[in-house]
Amino acid sequence: MKQVGIEALNVYCGETYVDVPTLFAARGLDDGRIDNLMMARKSVALHCEDAVSFAVNAAKPIVDALSEQERAGIELLVVGTESGIDFGKSLATYVHDHLGLPRTCRLFETKQACYSGTAATQMAAAVVAASPFPTTKALVISSDVARPVPHTYVEPSQGAGAVALLVGDRPTVAAFDWGANGFHSYEVMDTCRPDPEAEAGDVDLSLLSYLDCLKGAFADYATKVDGADLVETFDLLAMHTPFPGMVKGAHRAVLRKLKRMSPPAIEDDFVRRLEPSIEYPRQVGNIYAGTVFLALASAIDKAVIDRDRRIGVFSYGSGCSSEFYSAVITPRSQRTVRAMGIQEALDARYELSVPEYDDLLRATAELKFGVPDFTFDLDRFPQITGARFSDAGRPRLVLEAVRNYHREYVWLGGRR
């Protein structure tokens, strides 16, 4: 069995953000709950951005760095999302086109709430492992743009972003432990999107389902990996992070139950093994399908990695489906991820005032799902787009118009 894993990883979390404490104050929310949320900033999509443009902008630096032969080896493109734009046509078709990928390629999108990106990644790993050709690669992109629910405690955690993974047999970023996968899934109505413009669900039930799945998925993992222990086996952990406070609460609850650890010991364990993974999510918010990979990227960037280290990864999708798996990361993994400049891009985002944020939400809401024709005013927010989309900047794909249901995108800024 060939070694398979992640060869390259990149994150795109938009051009703007809003400060979470500032948003709490503007909405009249109880600021005593900020500490439980553990959020600092949330990414916000521009009115002319969608799951397609986010996916392309995340993957483009990876694809551009490939040789012609390596690009020709991409036999599979999967986009995991719950921000679909059509009931039949996959948004992967647009992504495939704007990345200039070969036509000798399978392409489709997956859906299972926030688990869809992991589902796509595991499928990609299986395709690469089964291929008789050493050049076979797969591109997996998790991309979502939240429809915020204003004036609720959910709003400060709803982000926007995409994470692109190149999966192959030269796993520079993370080498998967083959066969080390635990699953726990069942039907539950915790959260859903019954309408393209809205989210619904039971927050308390979602928290309980997440916790139940963490315990159940690891228990299944332990039946397949001799001697697996949640504390001793893994140097680091990365978990689906709807908001960092939820991860901290789940970690505390599981270690109390499974390991009978004291509160100080649990806190020390969290700081050592989990805190590096929440640094990016604290600055971005919940990006749904890509959140677990945002946490993985954060762990690789922020942790001390001075030797080979094993990381346990927990992915959860409402409804629900979950998986616990593991991978080995190295000092080279850290150098590779840091070279993508993810933290620098997060730092360079434009800070929205709350009035600007609200104006942006109103502009975004003007494009309704299923509308046959629509034209965007790309100059509507010049204070944001003027400098960010200059010729000196990096190129960004944005949505320009919808004509007879077909979405038309353009590249702005930089050299393409």
Known catalytic residues are: 82, 114, 240
Largest CA-CA distance found in the chain, in angstroms, rounded: 61
* Backbone phi, psi, residue 303, to 5°: -80, 165
Cα–Cα dist 239/292, whole Å: 6
The two structure tokens encoding residue 405: 């249901």
Whether the Cβ atoms of residue 16 and residue 351 lie closer than 8 Å to each other: yes
Closest CA to 79 of 103, 101, 51: 51
**Sequence-separated (6 or more) residues with CB below 8 Å from residue 47:** 360, 363, 364, 366, 367, 376, 380, 381
Closest CA to 83 of 45, 121, 52: 52
**CA distance readout (Å), 304 to 67, 222, 237, 276, 391:** 32, 26, 13, 9, 37
Helix (H/G/I), strand (E/B), else coil: 402? strand
Closest CA to 4 of 166, 244, 205, 237: 166
Q: Could you identify the residue written with the tokens 């364990």?
A: 269
Helix (H) or strand (E) holding 203, with range, is: helix 203-224
What is the SS3 string spanning 284-346? HCECHHHHHHHHHHHHHHHCCCCCCEEEEEEEEECCCEEEEEEEEECHHHHHHHHCCCHHHHH
Helix (H) or strand (E) holding 384, with range, is: helix 382-388
Dihedral sign for Cα 391, 393, 395, 400, please: negative
Cα–Cα dist 264/262, whole Å: 6
C-alpha distance across the termini of the chain, in Å: 39
Helix (H/G/I), strand (E/B), else coil: 97? helix
